[in-house]
Each structure stands twice: as C-alpha cells, then as structure tokens.
Amino acid sequence: MNALLKKAKSSPRALNREELTSLLLCTEPEELFRAAYEVKLRTIGKRVSLRGLIEMGNLCSKDCLYCGIRKSNCNTARFQLDEDSVIRMAKWAYDARYGSIAIQSGEIESEAHTALIERILLRIRDFSGGKLGVTLSLGEQTEEVYRRWREAGAHRYLLRIEESNPHLYAKLHPAGHDYARRSACLDLLRKLDYQVGSGVMIGLPGQTETDLANNILFFAEKDLDMIGMGPWLPHPETPMGKDFADTLDFRQKQLDLGLRMIAVTRLYLHNVNIAATTALQTLAPDGRERGLLAGANVIMPNVTDTQYRANYQLYTGKPSLDENSDETRQKLQASIRAIGEEIIWDQRGDSPRYFQRKEQL
Ligand code: 5AD
C-alpha cells in the first residue's frame, strides 16, 4: 500500500484500474486519507472554497429511480423561485463574501426557463461587476442553451453522470433517460469553455469497486475540472429507496466509501476541485469536514430561504433544513477553522486544472 500511495502522490494518473480498486478497498483508510490530503495541500493549499447553493426549484422532467424530486413523486410540493428571489439570494451570498454561487434545479427544457436563467445571469453579472462566480447545475440542455447561458456569464457547469457504467446507468433510470446524451452534454460544455464538473453516486445497489474505479477513470477521460459526488441515500418515496432497510451499519459503510472515493480521486487527478457534499453531512454531522481531510476542497453551503428547503429533498434527512443562511455560515466557519483549514473569501475558487489545460493547449 505504501508503494502505491507513493506512486499516486508523485504524479497524477499514475495508477491503473486494479491499483485504484485496491486503494478503494484498502485496510488502512486513514493512511489513504492522509496521502490524499497531502496532495490536496500541495495542489490547493490549506484552503476551502465556498459556493452558495441556491436550490431554485424542484420541477423536473426526469424520473430517476433514486431521486426524491423525480417527476412521479406526488408527495413533494413543487416550487420554483422567481427571478427576484434568486437575485436576492445571490446578493446575500455575494455580501456574505462566498465568492461563488451554484444555481441548481430539476431538469427543465423550455424557452421560458432558458430565458429566465439568462436574465438572472445578466443581473448577477451586473450587480457584482462580474466578480461573483456562477456555477449552473440545471441538467441536460442543447448546445444552444448552454451557449446562451455561457454568454450571459455562467462559467462553470455541474452535470453528474451519476454512474459511468451504461448498464448500471440503465438500471437506475427509466427508459428514455439517455446515457449517451448525458455524456455528450459534458463534451458540449467543454467545447463551450465552461469549467466542467461531473460525478457519481457512491455505494449504489449493484455498483462494484471496479465500477467505482472505472468512474474515476471516466473523470480522467473527460478531463473534468470539478468533481461532485456523494453516497447514495435511500429515499422512501422512490423505487430504489422504498423497501430498503436503512441501518446504522449501512450508513457507516456509505460514509466510509464516500470518503474513500474522494481520497482516491484526489490521488488520481491531483489538481481538480472536489466537493465535500451535503450527502456526507447527512451521514455524519462532521461528514463534510472529514471529506475535506480526505482530499476535498469545496463546500456548498445552502443559501436558499429556509421555507423552501424542505421541498428540495433529493434524499431524506438532509441537514440544515430549519436553519437560515446566517446560521449555516457561522457554523461552517467554526467547523472549518476547527480542522485547521481556511475559507477563501471573495474569490471564485476556480479549478487549477482548467488553467493548466489551457496552458498546455
Ligand atoms: N442519494 C444521494 N444523492 C442523490 N441525488 C439524487 N438523489 C439522490 C439520493 N437518493 C444526487 C444526484 C444528483 C444530485 C443533484 O443529487 O447525484 O445529480
């Protein structure tokens, strides 16, 4: 294991599939996390970037078998924030010195929605003088839509592939959800010069360690700038979650696997942005901080008004549902300081990999 970690630390993309798998399964995860943290310190520093997360709406045209806001779930009240509310939350994040925001919603493809996002982007550029970083996470769209949003000021886009094994992908989604299109969307985003992020769910039923290693190879193949991934959590209102026995033991395993994936991804890709996601925090109060110590460098604190939070439950048990954005900010600041890391305020926190690729071209 020491030899493997040494090789992984010395240069990016140094391991093969079997070696990635053996790190994922290693018997000394603390050693793994330490090695990944070392690489994170070298490539990023003792620094954490924030993205104020605006959960803009839960209307969705997709019916993913794991997701709490899937189209067929009638037990969630649907909402959509209006333009002024999104701007107010974006301003809050800007004034709170977060440096960047991420706007996320269910997947909607319509001219009205495209134009709404475009107007919001232009207003954000206007009030922040182009200083506030904007990540979009609005699903599969046409090239034209991605282009309009890019031109209106979005510069990062997150689109999780969810699972890069097309056979497993097909089991997680109903007919009509098209793996090839999702993958092609990542290529379009790259072509349009976004910083491109993707990721997977970890610990899915039927997902093997080899699948997980292949997911990391997929991140490399797409040459992603940002990775956002987290453990799968069974949601009782979904086909995959409804009869699932959710035990303490299961949650422990999901957390552990989530941290291992972060660490091995850091060890393989070195200088990308990796998020410590809310799903980790759902499994343990200090889940995100443990994610940072396993190699992540981005946290996405919620800046959505408290009243809407309960309706944006992709999985149940989401933390901070009854907290306001001020409380979320204060708690986070304290917990990050407690692990000896430092938040970088007022900066976009772009992915170093993005600039390195541009230099190499
Ligand atoms: N457990 C964990 N993550 C989930 N997501 C959706 N449903 C679940 C779940 N049950 C994730 C998907 C999606 C992101 C916004 O939330 O990966 O891309």
Nearest alpha carbon, ligand 1 atom 15? 314
Nearest atom, ligand 1, residue 315 CA:
10
Q: What is the band of 323 on the pLDDT scale with cuts at 50, 70, 90?
A: confident
Per residue in 173-190, pLDDT (tens digit) is 999 999 999 999 999 999
How far is the centre of ligand 1, averaged over its atoms, from the C-alpha of 201 (Å)?
7
In one-letter notation, the amino acid at residue 246 is D
pLDDT for position 216:
98
Percent of the chain with pLDDT over 90: 91
Mutate to test the pocket of ligand 1, among 62, 254, 315 (most ligand atoms within 8 A of CB): 315
- Confidence check: pLDDT of 316 > 90: no
Q: Which residue has the tokens 């045209």?
A: 61
Q: What is the DSSP string of 7-44?
A: HHHHSTT---HHHHHHHHT-S-HHHHHHHHHHHHHHHT
The CB of 201 under 6 Å from ligand 1? The reply is yes
Nearest alpha carbon, ligand 1 atom 11? 314
The CB of 121 under 6 Å from ligand 1? The reply is no
How far is the centre of ligand 1, averaged over its atoms, from the C-alpha of 126 (Å)?
32
Contact 263, 296 (CB under 8 A): no
In one-letter notation, the amino acid at residue 115 is A
Q: Which residue has the tokens 């959590």?
A: 233
Rounded to whole angstroms, the Cα distance separating 284 from 280 reads 6
How far is the centre of ligand 1, averaged over its atoms, from the C-alpha of 190 (Å)?
23
Residue 104, SS3 per DSSP: strand
For 193, phi then psi, to 5°, come to: 70, 30
Strands (E), the chain: 47-50, 52-57, 100-105, 133-137, 156-158, 195-198, 201-202, 226-231, 273-276, 298-299, 342-343
Residue 122, SS3 per DSSP: helix
Nearest atom, ligand 1, residue 200 CA:
17
pLDDT for position 74:
92
In one-letter notation, the amino acid at residue 199 is G
How far is the centre of ligand 1, averaged over its atoms, from the C-alpha of 227 (Å)?
14
- Confidence check: pLDDT of 166 > 90: yes
Contact 86, 103 (CB under 8 A): yes
- Confidence check: pLDDT of 315 > 90: no
How far is the centre of ligand 1, averaged over its atoms, from the C-alpha of 314 (Å)?
6
The CB of 182 under 6 Å from ligand 1? The reply is no
The CB of 179 under 6 Å from ligand 1? The reply is no
Apex 243 CA angle, 242 and 248, nearest 5:
100
Nearest atom, ligand 1, residue 279 CA:
2
Rounded to whole angstroms, the Cα distance separating 65 from 72 reads 10
Mean of pLDDT values over 196-205:
98
Contact 102, 52 (CB under 8 A): yes
Instruction: Enumerate the β-bridge partners of residue 100.
Output: 133
Nearest alpha carbon, ligand 1 atom 13? 160
Nearest atom, ligand 1, residue 231 CA:
2
Residues in CB range of 266: below 8 A, 6 or more apart = 36, 39, 40, 274, 294, 295, 296
Nearest to 47 by CA among 274, 319, 228: 274
Nearest to 29 by CA among 287, 256, 207: 256
Mean of pLDDT values over 284-288:
95
How far is the centre of ligand 1, averaged over its atoms, from the C-alpha of 214 (Å)?
19
In one-letter notation, the amino acid at residue 241 is G
How many other CB atoms sit within 10 Å of the CB of residue 78? 14
Which pair of tokens denotes residue 167? 């056979």
Rounded to whole angstroms, the Cα distance separating 47 from 24 reads 25
Contact 195, 186 (CB under 8 A): no
How far is the centre of ligand 1, averaged over its atoms, from the C-alpha of 232 (Å)?
7
Contact 50, 301 (CB under 8 A): yes
How far is the centre of ligand 1, averaged over its atoms, from the C-alpha of 17 (Å)?
25
Apex 139 CA angle, 254 and 70, nearest 5:
60
How far is the centre of ligand 1, averaged over its atoms, from the C-alpha of 56 (Å)?
16
Size of the chain in residues: 361
- Confidence check: pLDDT of 108 > 90: yes
More confident residue, 328 or 87: 87
pLDDT for position 237:
94
Residues in CB range of 278: below 8 A, 6 or more apart = 230, 288, 300, 302, 318, 319
- Confidence check: pLDDT of 94 > 90: yes
Rounded to whole angstroms, the Cα distance separating 251 from 283 reads 6
